[in-house]
Structure 1
């Protein structure tokens, strides 16, 4: 293989046979444009939804879409300029960070559900979910950023990139651990709801598609985290990182689903207000359930206007 000249990584140079790119392949321009459009449309929809309903707390979904858009724009740039180091660094940094905003939105959602179900349904308070797990995500990103900086510096100086790569692996593995801990806590919430005999009531009406959207989004993010952990563990010349189809399917597609599902099942439309939705503090009898729960709220959208 031909030894590349350093000037090749500056400006825009066409692909040269025998000289490998930083990706191990030339990124697909069609895929780059497609994902830019998908994340762009989702971002616009989320902005419109949060402005319309004034639910600013869910702006994290729009921010995550913006970060994904920047990352895929970097890959589209790389399709034309496959050796450009700036384009490569843009996409690798943003596409690792973006899912953190999606998980933050899910943390907020679980906190809102706990407020509806009652504090006794969770081992942690709603605020603690956001603080603990968002802090874990930030720590993970700092570790990954430090590792990426180390690896990039060594790569530019033709040094050993292994320490930086291992640091990045530790960061994303920690993120995977924190997501796993969150899933365990979420399962515990519904276990407690079931133990109190309120599971069927707590998943009725519009809450059902919202819960399904949360589960789908978490599954997508979890699978993507496993993929990225294995990818980085294999190193910069590993099988996964040098085959584009895995990245498109296990990162791009999964992240479109993870955030796009909340355009369809937006929390502001499906979450009832705490005034309209109050679960009983004891196990209700079948005959008294309709008296305890406001069925108008649980079977339709009437009365949701007060949920901020």
Structure 2
């Protein structure tokens, strides 16, 4: 059967291959199970926790595609398969953002950008990509809609893919800046080099897949790319499996510290534990000001730098962070961090209270001094 041959009554245009989905269901399921085991083994929750989820999305998408291969006239299978499979690669891209953020936490003094802002910026924009894909893919795949409605869906997907491409470019630039600085400083360990190379390869794979989808949607539904299934299996299924298998083989959780508070000293050998370079602003503020421009103007980052502290100073900084740590309940009740000692509003009341206490202490001290002087005079008399 020619993969590009038209199949009458098929919403796919062709009759989807029945064997290939089974193969990729097995491959991605094995990869996802291994990712789950590796994440648990290395306790790399903050870095690789989404890898099993990405594999599950791909497995689900291929499973629905397999069902659609036996019911080629069922539009629901086409829509569900398209949405699920197209949602997987952005999650793999998200993993690369987490990996870069963890690397920057590990060598904070060479970070071009605050590590926490790598997450808030790229993750936030990646979420926009997912929303655009989720809303656009089903419209684009729904042949019961008018051409204009389907074109709106295609435009949403194209916008999402274009945004992804821009993110990959910014991500590559940021990574290259850090890599150059770390190489010049002589602090790139073997493990870090491995993680960086794997991250570059993974980002390149996701970018190639993104370009394939962009070309497909720009050329339209009558194009050779859309009508020929072989392109899908090569540029969607095969290369994304290569990507997930690569991350299995060189799992980043094995080569990066588990905690954001662990950092590499400037000698490139000694690992130290600090308070962590946290962005203590409310999450809503980080969404509207991911680069903390106001903080950069005020020199907030310089005030929070800790990597040149002594061990005693680091110990005090960790203790201070622990005292100021907010619980989950406080975060839910006051997500904007308005109240409390360090809240945007509460800290002003604390200052006034402290000033009032200072005045009271001074008055008490003066009274005690006067009483002491009276006692001295009485003794003299």
User: With structure 1 as the length reference, what TM-score do the two structures score?
Assistant: 0.78
Q: Go from structure 1 to structure 2 and tell me whether the alpha carbon gap of 1:294 and 1:181 turns closer, same or farther (over 3 Å shift).
A: closer
Per-residue CA deviations over 1:14-43 (Å, capped at 9, x if unaligned) read xx9762523221221111011101110011
Counterpart for residue 179 of structure 1: 168
Aligned pairs for 1:190-209 within 5 A: 190-194=179-183, 197-199=184-186, 201-202=187-188, 204-209=189-194
Is 1:123 paired with 2:108? no
Residue ranges of structure 1 left out of the alignment (5+ in a row):
1-15, 281-291, 297-308
Q: Go from structure 1 to structure 2 and tell me whether the alpha carbon gap of 1:271 and 1:254 turns closer, same or farther (over 3 Å shift).
A: same
Counterpart for residue 44 of structure 1: 33
Q: Go from structure 1 to structure 2 and tell me whether the alpha carbon gap of 1:275 and 1:205 turns closer, same or farther (over 3 Å shift).
A: farther
The CA deviation at 1:248 is: 0.8
Residue ranges of structure 2 left out of the alignment (5+ in a row):
272-381
Contact 2:54 2:91 in 1 (8 A): yes
Asked which structure has the greater CA Rg, the reply is 2
SS in 1 for 2:224: coil
Counterpart for residue 169 of structure 1: 158
Aligned pairs for 1:30-41 within 5 A: 30-41=19-30
CA distance in 1, matches of 2:171, 2:208: 15
The CA deviation at 1:165 is: 1.7
Per-residue CA deviations over 1:234-258 (Å, capped at 9, x if unaligned) read 1122211111111111111111111
CA distance in 2, matches of 1:149, 1:123: 39
Counterpart for residue 294 of structure 1: 269
Counterpart for residue 127 of structure 2: 138
The CA deviation at 1:272 is: 4.5
Counterpart for residue 188 of structure 1: 177
Q: How many residues align?
A: 265
Contact 1:26 1:78 in 2 (8 A): no
Aligned pairs for 1:23-172 within 5 A: 23-57=12-46, 58-119=48-109, 121-151=110-140, 155-160=143-148, 161-172=150-161
Contact 2:205 2:240 in 1 (8 A): yes
CA distance in 2, matches of 1:135, 1:232: 24
Q: Go from structure 1 to structure 2 and tell me whether the alpha carbon gap of 1:257 and 1:18 turns closer, same or farther (over 3 Å shift).
A: closer
Contact 2:79 2:138 in 1 (8 A): no
Counterpart for residue 232 of structure 1: 217
CA distance in 2, matches of 1:173, 1:130: 20
Q: For structure 1, which segment, 130-139 or 34-43, has the greater mean C-alpha deviation from structure 2 after superposition?
A: 130-139
CA distance in 1, matches of 2:261, 2:128: 37
CA distance in 1, matches of 2:164, 2:99: 19
The CA deviation at 1:293 is: 3.7
The CA deviation at 1:83 is: 1.9
The CA deviation at 1:279 is: 4.1
Contact 1:151 1:165 in 2 (8 A): yes
CA distance in 2, matches of 1:276, 1:144: 37
Q: Go from structure 1 to structure 2 and tell me whether the alpha carbon gap of 1:96 and 1:276 turns closer, same or farther (over 3 Å shift).
A: closer
Counterpart for residue 287 of structure 1: none
The CA deviation at 1:276 is: 7.7
Contact 1:118 1:279 in 2 (8 A): no
CA distance in 2, matches of 1:157, 1:214: 40
Among residues 241, 245, 254, which one is paired with 1:260 in the alignment? 245
SS in 1 for 2:52: helix
What do you get for the CA RMSD once the two structures are aligned? 2.5
Counterpart for residue 264 of structure 2: 278
Q: Go from structure 1 to structure 2 and tell me whether the alpha carbon gap of 1:17 and 1:173 turns closer, same or farther (over 3 Å shift).
A: closer
CA distance in 2, matches of 1:18, 1:50: 44
Per-residue CA deviations over 1:261-300 (Å, capped at 9, x if unaligned) read 11111122112577886242xxxxxxxxxxx34389xxxx
